[in-house]
Amino acid sequence: MLQRVRQGDQSAPGELMPLVYAELRRVAARCLRGERPGHTLQPTALVNEAYLRMFGNANPPATDKAHFLAMASQMMRRILVDYARNKGSLKRGGNARRVEASPEVELAVQDALPLRLLELDLAIDALAVENPRLAQAIELHYFGGLTAEEAAEVTGRSVHSVRHDLRFAQAWLRLRLSGESSG
């Protein structure tokens, strides 16, 4: 089915959705698990938004199910971060005159739960600067819900290597998010 999508078959995305919907909804539920109670973005909406963004302009170049789920998890991360930023901007006056500020200033004025997601996003971005492989592993695992085996398949690396990267990335993020990191 993914091959048909890559080849531009216009009916393939619609046929693909029922095949991957349950898995995407599981990924979305995992992404939303840490959000505040009453969060207005529900797993179904997150799945639908990610699917629309993935297939909106072009067909995603996914080669297999694990790669497709990795792409979907990256898209869900972007949607959740955009949502958290938008929610924070509405709390700061919505359509009022905007003044550019550094991400640190923006984070300081937002409530705790979106702050955690935005902090995590910034920390993953910082990790990607230092070590893109570690950032990719943690993103696939945390946002995509991929197991080490699935992440290894997506990245073309050994399961042992991915597990090692996940442990290291989790420790790096814990240190960074606890404020004990100097950089």
Query: How do residues 28-63 score in pLDDT, each as one tens digit?
Result: 887 777 666 666 778 888 888 888 888 776 666 777
Look at residue 6 and tell me if it is in a domain.
yes
**Of 178, 134, 127, nearest to 155 (Cα)?**
134
Look at residue 183 and tell me if it is in a domain.
no
Q: What's the whole-number average pLDDT of the chain?
A: 76
User: Domain containing 10: what range?
Assistant: 2-178
Look at residue 139 and tell me if it is in a domain.
yes
Look at residue 73 and tell me if it is in a domain.
yes
* pTM across the whole model: 0.60
In this predicted structure, the answer to whether residue 159 has a pLDDT above a threshold of 90 is yes
Look at residue 20 and tell me if it is in a domain.
yes
Which residues neighbour 109 within 8 Å (Cβ) at sequence distance 6 or greater? 88, 91, 92
Look at residue 158 and tell me if it is in a domain.
yes
How many structural domains does the chain have?
A: 1
Render pLDDT for 86-128 as a digit per residue (tens, 0 to 9): 776 555 444 444 434 434 333 333 333 445 778 888 899 999 9
Out of 22-26, 109-113, 157-161, give the one with best mean pLDDT.
Answer: 157-161
